[in-house]
Amino acid sequence: MKTTAEIDPQLVKQLREKTNAGFMDCKRALVESAGDLEKAETILRTKGIASAGKKASRATKEGVVASYIHLQGKVGVLVEVNCETDFVARNENFREFVKDITLHIAAAHPLYVSRADVPGNLIEAEREIYKAQVKGKPANVADKIVEGKLDKFYSTVCLLEQGFIKNPDVTIKDLLNTKISELGENIIIRRFVRYLVGEALPSEA
């Protein structure tokens, strides 16, 4: 049997694209299937993990708003996480997930939920900086480097792309997809705000 370290990252990426399952779920399935992509997909579907993507279009009108205060009142987080039913909103597993998200936001300081929330002018400003850094390199090489740097930027500022503070090998999106599979409902991290005592407000920056 292959070990986790022996699994080709490209295979993991392919399996994620086909099933929309979490990174670690895909990796475990590939280990179990000895690197066979089709068998790994079957394993995920059997376990119900691959169904997370199918649930993504379903309406989420229930959920909770949760708060977390850290460092003796120096850092505060408010987050809204939505699900489909009040039954799941009251589920202990769901509540623990929401709590983990508030802890993560307090510690990792994301600025946006996803790439779609990042202002276009900020993305273009970052892109121009990266282009200047690779000036003189062949165009095809430069483009790949710029896109790689942008991916790194997103993984820093976007909540869903950050490595989970309790397990950096798992992104928040992976964690979210796992919870969707476990609870059988679509779940969305809708919005959050993080306060730090003494930080400059946008109007003061």
Question: pLDDT for 21-77, tens place per residue?
Answer: 777 778 888 888 888 888 888 888 776 665 555 555 566 789 999 999 987 889 999
Claim to verify: residue 9 and residue 100 sit in the same structural domain: no
Please indicate, yes or no, if residue 50 is contained in any of the structural domains: yes
Q: What is the 3-state secondary structure (H, E, C) of the chain?
A: CCCHHHCCHHHHHHHHHHHCCCHHHHHHHHHHCCCCHHHHHHHHHHHCHHHHHHHCCCCCCEEEEEEEEECCCCEEEEEEEEECCHHHHCCHHHHHHHHHHHHHHHHHCCCECCHHHCCHHHHHHHHHHHHHHCCCCCHHHHHHHHHHHHHHHHHHHEHHHCEECCEEEEEHHHHHHHHHHHHCCCCEEEEEEEEECCCCCCCCC
State residue 92's pLDDT score: 95
State residue 1's pLDDT score: 46
CATH number, residue 186: 3.30.479.20
State residue 202's pLDDT score: 66
Domain count, the chain: 3
> pTM here?
0.71
Query: Is residue 83 over pLDDT 90?
Result: yes
Claim to verify: residue 87 and residue 29 sit in the same structural domain: no
State residue 73's pLDDT score: 86
Query: Is residue 5 over pLDDT 70?
Result: no
pLDDT tens digits for range 110-145: 999 999 999 999 999 999 999 999 888 888 888 899
Domain that holds residue 181: 62-115+158-196
Claim to verify: residue 8 and residue 48 sit in the same structural domain: yes
Please indicate, yes or no, if residue 130 is contained in any of the structural domains: yes
Claim to verify: residue 35 and residue 133 sit in the same structural domain: no
Please indicate, yes or no, if residue 129 is contained in any of the structural domains: yes
Claim to verify: residue 8 and residue 45 sit in the same structural domain: yes
